[in-house]
Chain A
Amino acid sequence: MNTPPTIDGLTPSALVTPLSAAELADTLAQAAADGLKVAPIGGGTALALGNPPERVDLALSTLALNGVLDYEPSDLVLSVAAGARFADVQALLAGHGQTLPLDPPGDAAATIGGLIATALAGPRRLGSGTLRDLLIGIAVAHPAGIVTKSGGMVVKNVTGFDLPRLYHGSLGTLGVIVSANLKVLPRARAEATLIARVVALDDALAAADRVRASRLRPVALEAALVDGAWFAAVRLEGRPATVATLAAEAAGLLESDTETLHGTDSAAWWRRYVAHQAVHAAPDEALLRFAVRPRATADLVRAVLRAVDGSGAIPRAVMASVGVGTVIVRAALDPEGAAATLSSLTATISPIADHVTVIAAPPAWKRGLDVWGGAPQTLDVMRALKSHFDPERVLNPGRFAGRI
């Protein structure tokens, strides 16, 4: 594939795919020297994320950096090149009874580097955390033409500043991730999912709350509207006998018409569910993410529903992670005046939500707003970091928070 992908309506004039980390760093240095703007690309599953770039001349693919660099199953650590596909890494780990306990959107094609850069996480973050918690080392190519590393291949390490955390979620604006070292975990021996079909949002929230207050430790717990129906969903993992016992307890707590899925059926159900969070938007829809403290999730999701209804938008999916405080909404907007509707929708919810992010929307709708919902208080420190690592603003200019 040599055709550059389009990013928010902008098409780079070339796509380059360096064959090594050093070559990638050289490419960045050359771009900096030539005054070109670069958009790093992994699997291309989250290109809609961020503000429209100010300019993009070069798409820089990490897909040729796709090998497993080091994997010692008994150490429970893995070093992998950034362009490795998440799904391929999971398949490798599964062969050794291990896993990365994550369910990010776009999991079939997403790369490890892309998932670190975007910090996208699925419902499992309730029980397993995110890539931030698994990242133990990282190597990054910078526009100075150098590759720097930090962290290491051990699970506990305080040697130097903790740069892996800084790069997580930095959207390729400080450098291009070329490889990552990750903690891996044993795969659960069994899993089950309970889906309680309910009449309305409040029933789903109440059911989820009962589960959260119980002895169960679900890895995911959602109250959601998908395909026109409300439900609560609970994902359990553990030893087979324990999962069977806990699933029966969960069914009792959910107090409604409950379907129980086991093993691969359970995993497949979650893949379909997370697909609704994929980072793209049809020409008539927007994907939004709202975040509050966990205890305010119910109030948030009610407010979001009211605001969506009030704006005339039609919710295609509403997915609340109870216990996390995240609500993701996919809504169809009347294309007539959609940009204004989107702005007023985010403005209506802003007083209730700590953070409002427009994850994906047609480029024309995004131009009038900051998809990150405003600049952080520490923007000056962030700008200083940016200007240390990328003084010429070669990488993704304007796309990240504060239009860094």
Chain B
Amino acid sequence: MSRAHDHLIERLERILGPGGVFHRPADLLVYEYDGSVEGAVDTAAPVAVALPTTTEQVAAIVRLANEFDLPVTPRGAGTGLSGGAVAQRGGIVVALTRMDRILEIDPEDRTALVEPGVINLELSEATIPGGHFFAPDPSSQKACTVGGNVAENSGGPHCLKYGVTTNHVLGLEVVLPDGRVVWTGGRAGHAPGYDLTGALVGSEGMLGIVTKALVRLTPNPEATLVELAAFPDVESASLAVSRIIAAGIVPAALELMDNLTIQAVEPAYHAGYPMDAGAVLLAELDGIAEDVRAEGEDVAVLCRETGATSVRVASEKPERDLLWKGRKMALAAMGRLTPNYYLHDTVVPRTKLPAALRRVAEVATEYDLPIANVLHAGDGNLHPLILFDRRQPGAVERVLHASHELLHSCVELGGALSGEHGIGTEKRAALTLVFSADDLAAMAGIKNSFDPKSCFNPEKLFPAGYRCGEVRALRAQALAQKLGIYAM
């Protein structure tokens, strides 16, 4: 290793102590990846991984990175699925997992002040006894961190009723790319100036490193009801979704799983999903007890009217948890069907869901790849799981092509590239499908305003080689993509 390298490690260790820096190749290996399947996003090795325990340490690391002219990539639990936490251009990874304290829970203000490394589910577990919960609940909630949720503006099944992460973040302590520590937002509303909190949430670690988050807590609902309706096919289940929404009911969650998913889940977890069902719909209703009871009856009737062959109702927690278990463990259960899967994430307007699902089926046939569907049906957020075996030659390429085809179809249906996983490196080439060069220039303006030297999480979100001036090239690229000339 070079002298400059040794000097960097020494300086980092001076900030963090010897246990706070990883720099040996074997220690760095795991930090080359995020949660995505190998081959879906690039991997890259950082020079070092810094594991701060205080805001001041984060600021000192950032100043050091500036001094050494190194890029900085913030990282939570590494459960992301779009390459956001991968140090694309090397440099220093700032892993925030040791900043994992819940600093304050305030039931009266209905807020919690947390460090970024707090695990999503642990926050709710800490606040539920006092009468509140943290509403964003991504499927990785047992492992993912609140800081990561902020960076990716995470969703989850319950955002149908409760909104996504940005609706639950009131203020942020942030280390800016120049090493300054600032607060945006706060406990009181109406802070003067631009809503920088809003700009930071979902910015994929490209604008600042969150060192504290002040989040909103939601009162525990008085009553909760979970219904599981089995349908002969996906179409009738989708119809039920439309009818429930049209009836003016906003369930807390409305999840759909197809037969292939049931085949994986039921033998593993015995959640009680009928093995012969074409699809199951999981609806959760919560709120004031009287309303929940009445809405539960309405939902059951609507499901039967649209062809449900059975409707199970669970009001007590153990039984509700069992019905949810199948959904929450769906990804883990896929191992029963396949050695590998690629988890896709796109979103379409709710009414386009049946069309999008038909397209998924066509792509599965075209590419000869089984695709299981688990979706946040109430939001129009699809998660096709493309099943494959990476040991077969060309399998990964085929999967990626199928996945791009799905992306194009969803955009054509009026959808977006990602509902909750983010763009990262995974989908940056596709950004020009939905945004013009001018749209991208506006986003680049945000980036430049926070990070003029582009040292925070470089080479993410914007198409590779993106410069504000390359308008013509981008337009040509967009045109090529529309014509189906898609180069990976």
| A residues apposed to B, CB below 8 Å | 72-77, 97, 125, 129, 132-133, 140, 142, 146-150, 152-166, 168-170, 174, 185-187, 189, 215, 217, 238-239, 241-242, 245-246, 289, 291-295, 324-326, 353-355, 357, 372-379, 381-382, 384-385, 388-389, 400-402, 404
Contacts and interface: CB of A to CB of B under 8 A. Distances in A.
A325 B189 contact: yes
Contact of B351 (A74, A186, A241, A354): A74
A373 B191 CA distance: 10
Given A132-B198, A161-B199, A162-B166, A156 B193 contact: no
A120 to B, nearest CB: 10
Interface string B164-178: 101100000000100
B196 A186 contact: no
Given A165-B201, A174-B194, A379-B193, 6 more contacts: A75-B349, A154-B379, A159-B427, A289-B190, A388-B445, A402-B192
B349 A163 contact: no
Contacts, number: 241
A384 B192 CA distance: 16
Interface of B: 106, 108-111, 152-153, 155, 159, 163-164, 166-167, 176, 182-184, 186-199, 201-203, 219, 222, 242, 245-246, 248-250, 287-288, 290-291, 294, 347-351, 376, 379-381, 414-423, 427, 431, 434-436, 438-443, 445-450, 452, 461
B288 A378 contact: no
A169 B195 contact: yes
Contacts of B164: 156
A149 B435 contact: yes
B347 A157 contact: yes
A382 B379 CA distance: 33
A215 B202 CA distance: 33
A160 B196 contact: no
Contact of A165 (B199, B288, B440): B199
Q: Which of B108, B189, B242 counts the most chain A CB atoms within 10 A?
A: B189
A149 B438 CA distance: 8
Contacts of B196: 166, 378, 381-382
Q: Which of B189, B194, B347, B417 counts the most chain A CB atoms within 10 A?
A: B194
B198 A162 contact: yes
Contacts of A132: 195, 198
Contacts of B152: 158
28 contacts: A74-B245, A74-B351, A75-B349, A152-B415, A156-B376, A156-B420, A157-B419, A158-B423, A159-B416, A159-B418, A160-B435, A160-B439, A162-B198, A238-B290, A242-B290, A294-B187, A295-B106, A326-B190, A354-B191, A355-B189, A355-B190, A375-B192, A376-B191, A379-B193, A382-B196, A385-B449, A388-B446, A400-B193
